[in-house]
Structure 1
């Protein structure tokens, strides 16, 4: 099976200066991953650990995540190649499609283009770009989101990188909004997060969106002594994805309540392997 740990799972280690992208590659190898799926903060210029924590808690306000230069990225690619780990999905914050202000949209679009070029340089298969926007976009806002995704999809086409959206924040926390967007933009894929739904919408989100999933973020927080996740029914989530023909990378996004990010990722991988 193909498995990864999204590097957001290690955001506290990154903020504390105890992990960078190169250590993430080593840790992924040691955890038995088959792919690398970095959060873009691991590929960005970070001046202070607080910047990482702010970005992690405020994906809609992550404009400060500026990519490193190409020389650095080539070093990253070389390290990944040496470890034998290809890149799957790069999860990008700070380049979302919708902003009310047109100039802000242009700024975000330029960032999206840059991250697409980075995905191509690293040989990544997918890049996650958020929709942004209000919880219930009106027709004008929805049109901006649709046109924006169509633009970045055209931009990414020749690079071989697939653009995907995640149920993450704003309108994508609502299953019907996710389905509406995916049906309006057929070439857009879905990164299905097990957890990121508006209150009371998780079961609906699983059932309505599983068939669209090309990538996953399987969230884990708390474990029993037997290794089961207490917050949500991960075996049921995996079973549903398999029933819907999921063929992608089983992606971990562990957020351990006890703060032990390496062990939290290890437990999540063990849980997924047991049921996938």
Structure 2
């Protein structure tokens, strides 16, 4: 079984100065991961911990996540190689495609290009770029989003990287919008998050989007003493993915209510292992 932890699962440790990208690599190794899925805040120059917390709560306002330099990236790649863990999906905030002004869109596009370069330097297989935009897009907005993904996909493909969209915020929390986008853009993959759906649309999101899943984020919040997740039916989500032929990496994105991020990730991995047959 292929297992990964999106490093957003440790955003509070990052903000508190108790974890950086190197400790993330060590923690993933200790927790039994088979690949690394960093959130780009772990690869950014953070002036203070609040920068990470702000980015985590406001992915549509995360342009302050300035990427580290190439020398630092070389150190990161060496640490990952020494741990025997390849890079999988880099989840990028602050480089989404749609903004109201052409100037803002151009700025985000340049950030996306830089993160694609970083993904290539690290040998990552996937990069998640959000669509951006209002919750219900017009034809004009949708056209801009489609063009943006086509541009990024062509650039990333040359580096052997697949661009993926996530049901994350804005229009993609609506399952119909996500399907519309995936059908309109050949080569665009889906990071299927079990939780991030508009109110009342989680079941619809699972049913309509499971067949498109390239990689996953399995969300967890509240565990019982015997390791069951109380917020959603994780075993059913895993079964649905398997029934739809999913053979990718089982990705953890735990957000433990008790604040113990290492144990939250550990319990989520154990729950996935029990759920996948």
Smaller-chain TM-score bracket: over 0.9
| Runs of at least 5 residues in structure 2 that lack an aligned partner in the other structure | none
Q: Deviations over 1:53-72 (max 9, x none)?
A: 00000000000001000000
| Runs of at least 5 residues in structure 1 that lack an aligned partner in the other structure | none
Give the TM-score normalised by structure 2. Answer: 0.99
Indicate the RMSD between aligned Cα atoms, in angstroms. Answer: 0.4
**What does residue 72 of structure 2 align with?**
72
Residue 247 of structure 1 and its aligned partner are, at CA, apart by: 1.1
Count matched residues. 276
| CA distance in 2: counterparts of 1:275 and 1:61, whole angstroms | 35
**What does residue 21 of structure 1 align with?**
21
| CA distance in 2: counterparts of 1:49 and 1:12, whole angstroms | 9
- Secondary structure of residue in 2 paired with 1:148: helix
Residue 226 of structure 1 and its aligned partner are, at CA, apart by: 1.4
* Structure 1 position 254 matched with structure 2 position 257: no
- Secondary structure of residue in 2 paired with 1:207: helix
| CA distance in 1: counterparts of 2:196 and 2:48, whole angstroms | 27
- Secondary structure of residue in 2 paired with 1:216: strand
**What does residue 160 of structure 2 align with?**
160
* Structure 1 position 269 matched with structure 2 position 265: no
| CA distance in 2: counterparts of 1:128 and 1:85, whole angstroms | 19
**What does residue 113 of structure 1 align with?**
113
Residue 170 of structure 1 and its aligned partner are, at CA, apart by: 0.1
**What does residue 34 of structure 1 align with?**
34
Residue 28 of structure 1 and its aligned partner are, at CA, apart by: 0.2
Runs of 4+ in 1 over 3 A off after TM superposition: none
- Secondary structure of residue in 2 paired with 1:190: strand
**What does residue 139 of structure 2 align with?**
139
Give the TM-score normalised by structure 1. Answer: 1.00
| CA distance in 1: counterparts of 2:142 and 2:205, whole angstroms | 20
